[in-house]
Structure 1
Amino acid sequence: MLTEFVRDHAFTIAWFGLMTMVWFGWGQEDPPEPWRWRLGVGSGLGIALAGVFGYAVAIRWDDGSALDDRYAWFGVVVGLEVLAAGIGCLVLWRRGAERWMAWWVAVVVAVHFVPLAFFLEDASIAVLALVQGVALTALLPRLRTVDGPTSRLVGPVMGATLLTFALLSAVVFLAGTGSPF
């Protein structure tokens, strides 16, 4: 995370930790047997980051944010993205292609990081979007040949990228800001 706003930095680590748990959890829908414990460990690490840096957000709540005076626009963009994810999933379900829902939601999430990078004034989040976009595109050939939900591969990819970003960001936080406490 490359922002001057300590609260935003802590919040992003906490949120990405929480979303790490969500994506690794979705990946547990139908994982290969050897992956199960890894998904659980990844989820646990995500929860730990969310807890530690969630506390850091709470004690810095009155600090400034890049979102100050832009919360309404941020809300509009997030609302549109949630709508796009929901409509896409509805279309997939109606076409009998619900196995693709995880992949579709992941694409929307990855694209979501582009405007988020502008809102938070942090180019590193756009890099995350690019990494996820490339990874999701690279998964397509394999997803087309594997039966079952796409979440078995998409969940671990999204969880791993978010966890990696959150961990690297936590190192930057500790080096630049110090203790989250």
Structure 2
Amino acid sequence: MLTEAVRDVPATAAIFGFFASMWFGWAQESPPAKWRPWLLLGSVTSLLTMTAGALLTWRNWDATTAFDEDTSKTFGIVVGLEVLLAGAGAVVLSLRGRRELVPVWIALVVGLHLFPVAALLAFPLIHLVGALVTIAALVAVPVARSRALPVSAVNGLAVGGVLLTAALVCLLAAL
């Protein structure tokens, strides 16, 4: 489920931890009051996981990695396309007065971009994360509307939870 590239495991913990904290933060836009402590706990745990993953990455800097000249270039293209699509969709949604859908759009783009990243890095866990983030994006609006909750809270909690769980799995494996 993980990768043979030793350095990429703690690096993934750091990256997913960082982005999990961002999603938990986005969920704090206007969540139900009883969610706030849990979202804060998710944010803090994510940042601690990110820090531990970064330190382990640094300690294992000379270990194997999937990144070489070719994969780095392709990775850059995939991430560049992700940012372009996420940004363009956010602008279009905002101009159309649908700002509440921006986090869902971004989560969908993030989830889908993880599939080529997983294949590129030969890291099966990232396929699972991509699938779960994509599903979280697809169900966020109907779940939020059916329960009269803010879309950003539902989406942020789900995506943050997926990313934090994956970050913790990677961190434990790296330890």
- Normalising by the smaller structure, the TM-score range is over 0.9
Q: In 2 relative to 1, CA 140–99 (structure 1 residues): closer, same or farther, beyond 3 Å?
A: closer
- 1:8 equivalent in structure 2: 8
Residue 19 of structure 2 contacts residue 163 of structure 2 at CA under 8 Å; is this kept in 1?
Answer: yes
The amino acid that maps onto 2:10 is A
- 1:34 equivalent in structure 2: 34
Q: Could you give the per-residue CA deviations for residues 118-162 of structure 1, whole angstroms, max 9, x where no partner exists?
A: 121011110111122223223331334577852111111111011
Instruction: Please give the residue correspondences for 1:61-100 in structure 2 after superposition, counting only pairs within 5 Å.
Output: 61-69=61-69, 70-100=71-101
Instruction: Please give the residue correspondences for 1:93-108 in structure 2 after superposition, counting only pairs within 5 Å.
Output: 93-108=94-109
Residue 100 of structure 1 contacts residue 149 of structure 1 at CA under 8 Å; is this kept in 2?
Answer: no
Residue 101 of structure 1 contacts residue 150 of structure 1 at CA under 8 Å; is this kept in 2?
Answer: no
Residue 7 of structure 1 contacts residue 64 of structure 1 at CA under 8 Å; is this kept in 2?
Answer: yes
TM-score between both structures, scaled by the size of structure 1: 0.89
TM-score between both structures, scaled by the size of structure 2: 0.92
- Residues 1:134 and 2:135 aligned together: yes
| Segment drifting more, 19-28 vs 132-141 | 132-141
- 2:159 equivalent in structure 1: 158
| Segment drifting more, 144-153 vs 22-31 | 144-153
Q: Aligned partners of 1:33, 1:140: CA distance in 2, in Å?
A: 20
Q: Aligned partners of 1:48, 1:7: CA distance in 2, in Å?
A: 18
The amino acid that maps onto 1:59 is R
The amino acid that maps onto 2:54 is G
Q: Aligned partners of 1:157, 1:139: CA distance in 2, in Å?
A: 8
Residue 32 of structure 2 contacts residue 149 of structure 2 at CA under 8 Å; is this kept in 1?
Answer: no
**For this pair of structures, how many residues does the alignment match?**
174
- 1:177 equivalent in structure 2: none
Q: Aligned partners of 2:165, 2:34: CA distance in 1, in Å?
A: 21
Residue 21 of structure 2 contacts residue 47 of structure 2 at CA under 8 Å; is this kept in 1?
Answer: yes
Which ranges in structure 2 are unaligned for 5 or more consecutive residues? Answer: none
| Segment drifting more, 56-65 vs 135-144 | 135-144
Residue 5 of structure 1 contacts residue 66 of structure 1 at CA under 8 Å; is this kept in 2?
Answer: yes
Percent identical residues? 38
